[in-house]
Amino acid sequence: MMSMKLHKKGEKLLEYRISRINKISYALFAFIMIIGLFSFPLDELISFRSLLPFTFLFISLLGLGYRESWEFDPIKKEVRSVHGVFFLVKREIIPFNTIRHLEISHFTKGYQESKKTGDRGRNKSMTVFSIRLITDSVKQIEIIPERVNSGRTDQIALEIASEMNLPFVVDREYDSINKVELSDI
């Protein structure tokens, strides 16, 4: 999972994007894989044994080239979204007048009425930061486990909404004292 951070660009522009730490770790891993591949003799470089390092190198290069950012511009009154890999990116501009509100919502991943054995990792509370448009469509900015989130995404969404003067809706407050149980949602 790639964590996202809020950055101020200039005086008013806010950018919510993937942390540089993630990019650095992918670059470091790619560098280590390249060094590992050069440790093979040239005649064995393209063989079954080098398939795993090539796969890891490819995955780390994809992670290094992945871009996801959301720019909130109060001067132009628009939200600009960019996401994709290397030069294969999708750009989108959302004018403020088409935004109903910024919202934080919660859901339970893998919810089932009867829990079976071996359901480890299911029934996890998730936090969703999204933009709800006046057409009732939703642009999801971030989906993160609530335990990892610790209320950080809620605070960032509130900060963006107040800085951009956009309405903000949250389905329930973050519970910083008690663990959130399935019955609470």
Q: What are the angstrom distances between the C-alpha of 9 and each of 4, 44, 72, 91, 163?
A: 15, 48, 10, 19, 13
| N-term to C-term CA, the chain | 24
* The pLDDT of residue 176: 54
Q: 168-170 and 99-109: which strand pairing?
A: parallel
Name, in order, each residue with C-beta under 8 angstroms of 30's C-beta and a sequence gap of 6 or more. Answer: 57, 60, 61, 64
Query: Are 104 and 157 contacting, i.e. CB atoms less than 8 angstroms apart?
Result: yes
Residue 94 lies in a domain: yes
Block residue for tokens 């950012």: 69
Residue 55 lies in a domain: no
Q: Alpha-carbon distance 105 to 107, whole Å?
A: 7
Q: 108: domain CATH number? A: 2.30.29
In terms of residue numbers, what domain contains 9?
Answer: 4-23+65-184
Residue 173 lies in a domain: yes
Residue 137 lies in a domain: yes
Per-residue pLDDT of the chain (185 residues; tens, 9 = 90+): 577 888 888 888 899 998 888 889 999 999 998 888 777 666 666 667 777 888 888 999 999 999 999 999 999 999 999 999 998 999 999 999 999 999 998 888 766 555 555 555 566 778 889 999 999 899 999 888 877 777 788 889 999 998 898 999 888 776 554 555 555 55
Residue 52 lies in a domain: no
Query: Are 130 and 140 contacting, i.e. CB atoms less than 8 angstroms apart?
Result: yes
Q: Alpha-carbon distance 129 to 156, whole Å?
A: 9
Block residue for tokens 């951070």: 5
| pTM, full prediction | 0.76
* The pLDDT of residue 152: 86
Number of domains, the chain: 1
Block residue for tokens 């989130």: 149
Residue 144 lies in a domain: yes
